[in-house]
Amino acid sequence: MNDIVLTGDRPTGPLHLGHYFGSLANRVRLQERLTMYVIIADYQVITDRDEPGAIQANITELLLDYLAVGIDPGKATIFQHSAIPELNQLLLPFLSLVSMAELQRNPTVKDEIAHSSQSAVSGLMFTYPVHQAADILFCKGTLVPVGRDQLPHVEVTRLVARRFNERYGQVFPVPEAMMGAQPLLRGLDGGKMSKSRGNSIPLRATEDETAALIRRAVTDGDRRITFDEEARPGVATLLTLTGLCTDRAPEQIADEIGDGGAATLKRVTTEAVNEFLRPIRRRRAELDPAEARQVLRAGNDRARATAVGTLEEVRLAMGF
Ligand code: TRP
């Protein structure tokens, strides 16, 4: 069977190195041999905030990140929730397939609620994983390259696909998650790396901004640099990052730094990250935002045609 790949991001801010090693690198590799859809999950932005904010600017920035890392619109279909009514309509039958208890015990949703600054948790916060099932199933996606935090959502999708097929006959494949080389890269403060937590290195940051971010990273006072994820999470994060950017083992980098202390480690990390991101940043600077938006319009048209077909199948299967 030929896999169909679906993955994507919320347009809430620039993509960072966690996205790159967790998912983007995989996408660039997979687009060569598989059908690939990349969703700009714009309706998902309003799960943990009241309003979408600078949504158009964020969508353009996300597109530029995609194109800069090498997602090729000739090979992949880039599209957005809000342009595909038929995808969104799948949410309705899909919601009937899951229980409230299942929605409430999703660990990623719980973590997002804990970090949300909203005074009230919206219904969408609990139901967006089912909406995400619609993102994956509208194109009959079979492979979902994501970071570790997204695994519960892929589980929801599998549940929805299985239950739909049981109740109404075989329509959907049951997709698999696929994790990158570094499924969960910790942030520079030791917590989950996140666009909204200010602890990540954006792909589009300048070299000076990158240096400043790494200078502020949490480490410890032990001059001897060793790789110990449990006892020294801050040091381990910088070593991991350097290892990913230079394609070496973090232990080897620790050995090379030896007694150099956190200052040397941070200098080495900064150089590795800036070197790694230089070609991506150069490509990004050369891109035309108007052309990027044109890429999105063309992708929306293609994705919509697929969604129309799937919704029709779903209606027929359900007897509507
Ligand atoms: N929830 C994902 C994130 O926050 C974005 C997303 C939306 C997604 N729909 C998806 C990822 C479907 C994979 C598949 O990053």
The string of pLDDT tens digits covering residues 111-164 is 999 988 888 999 999 999 999 999 999 999 999 988 888 999 999 999 999 999
Do the domain assignments include residue 74?
Answer: yes
Q: Of all protein residues, whose CA lies closest to atom 5 belonging to ligand 1?
A: 9
DSSP 24: I
Q: Please tell me whether residues 133 and 30 are part of one structural domain.
A: yes
Q: Please tell me whether residues 276 and 298 are part of one structural domain.
A: no
* CA-132 nearest atom, ligand 1: 9
The CA R_g of the chain, rounded to the nearest whole Å, is 21
Average pLDDT, rounded, for the chain: 95
Which of 4, 10, 108, 197 to probe ligand 1 with, by most ligand atoms within 8 A of CB?
10
Do the domain assignments include residue 195?
Answer: no
Do the domain assignments include residue 260?
Answer: yes
Structural domain harbouring 88 = 4-184+288-318
Q: What is the pLDDT of residue 181?
A: 65
Q: Please tell me whether residues 11 and 148 are part of one structural domain.
A: yes
Q: Please tell me whether residues 276 and 155 are part of one structural domain.
A: no
Q: Please tell me whether residues 214 and 274 are part of one structural domain.
A: yes
* Spatial separation of the C-alpha atoms in residues 228 and 232, rounded to whole Å: 5
CA of 266 to the centre of ligand 1 (A): 31
Q: What is the pLDDT of residue 246?
A: 97
Q: In which residue are the tokens 């969104």 written?
A: 88
The number of distinct structural domains making up the chain is: 2
We report the CATH number of the domain holding residue 102 as 3.40.50.620
Q: Please tell me whether residues 21 and 33 are part of one structural domain.
A: yes
CA of 41 to the centre of ligand 1 (A): 7
Q: What is the pLDDT of residue 193?
A: 83
We report the CATH number of the domain holding residue 219 as 1.10.240.10
pLDDT tens per residue, range 256-303: 999 999 999 999 999 999 999 999 999 999 999 999 999 999 999 999
pLDDT at residue 167 above 90? yes
Q: What is the pLDDT of residue 184?
A: 64
Task: Give the distance, in angstroms, between the CA of residue 132 and the centroid of all CA atoms in the same chain.
Answer: 12
Half-sphere exposure of 31 toward its Cβ, with a 13 Å CA cutoff? 21
CA of 153 to the centre of ligand 1 (A): 8
Q: Widest CA span of the chain, in angstroms? A: 70
Render the burial of 16-41: b for 16+ CB within 10 Å, e for the rest. bbbbbbbbbbbbbebbeebbbbbbbb
Q: Please tell me whether residues 280 and 219 are part of one structural domain.
A: yes
Q: Please tell me whether residues 87 and 137 are part of one structural domain.
A: yes
CA torsion, ordered 65, 106, 188, 262, to nearest 10 deg:
-140
* CA-141 nearest atom, ligand 1: 14
CA of 207 to the centre of ligand 1 (A): 28
Task: Give the distance, in angstroms, between the CA of residue 291 and the centroid of all CA atoms in the same chain.
Answer: 23
Q: Please tell me whether residues 43 and 119 are part of one structural domain.
A: yes
User: In sequence order, which residues have a C-beta less than 8 Å from that of residue 7 and are 6 or more positions away?
Assistant: 23, 27, 37, 38, 39, 144, 145, 146
Do the domain assignments include residue 41?
Answer: yes
Q: Please tell me whether residues 236 and 292 are part of one structural domain.
A: no
Q: Of all protein residues, whose CA lies closest to atom 8 belonging to ligand 1?
A: 8
**Residue 187 to residues 65, 171, 208, Cα–Cα distance (Å):** 19, 40, 18
- The mean pLDDT value for 20-27 works out to 89
Residue 217: Cβ-neighbour burial (10 angstroms; 0-12, 13-18, 19+): buried
Q: Of all protein residues, whose CA lies closest to atom 3 belonging to ligand 1?
A: 9
pTM of the entire structure? 0.93
